[in-house]
Amino acid sequence: MPNPKRKHSPARRDSRRAANWKLETKTLSSCPQCGAMRLPHRVCASCGAYNGKIEVVRKEKKTDEQNPK
Ligand SMILES: [Zn+2]
């Protein structure tokens, strides 16, 4: 069986791998609550809503710690 005579160097291996990738744009969907673009199946970063529930994750503010609601 014919085989490569020498092992390829790490630089040759890495340059081959570096040539075969590209940046992909993340899939975005708009939030039904506030309309901001967010990742699907993620809590909205701008209003904190998820699956129709408002403020699943409370947005941290310094005023909220002192005066809750
Ligand atoms: Zn939102």
pLDDT in tens, 17-39: 888 888 877 788 888 888 888 88
Task: Give pLDDT tens digits for 52-66.
Answer: 777 767 766 555 555
Judge contact between 67 and 57, C-beta under 8 A: no
Most confident of 4-8, 41-45, 55-59: 4-8
Cα–ligand 1 centroid distance for 9 (angstroms) = 50
The CA 61 to ligand 1 mean position distance, Å, reads 17
Centre of ligand 1 from the C-alpha of residue 47, in Å: 4
Q: What are residue 17's phi and psi, to 5 degrees?
A: -70, -30
User: What is the reported pTM?
Assistant: 0.44
CA 69 – CA 25 distance, rounded (Å)? 38
> Where do the domains of the chain lie?
27-59
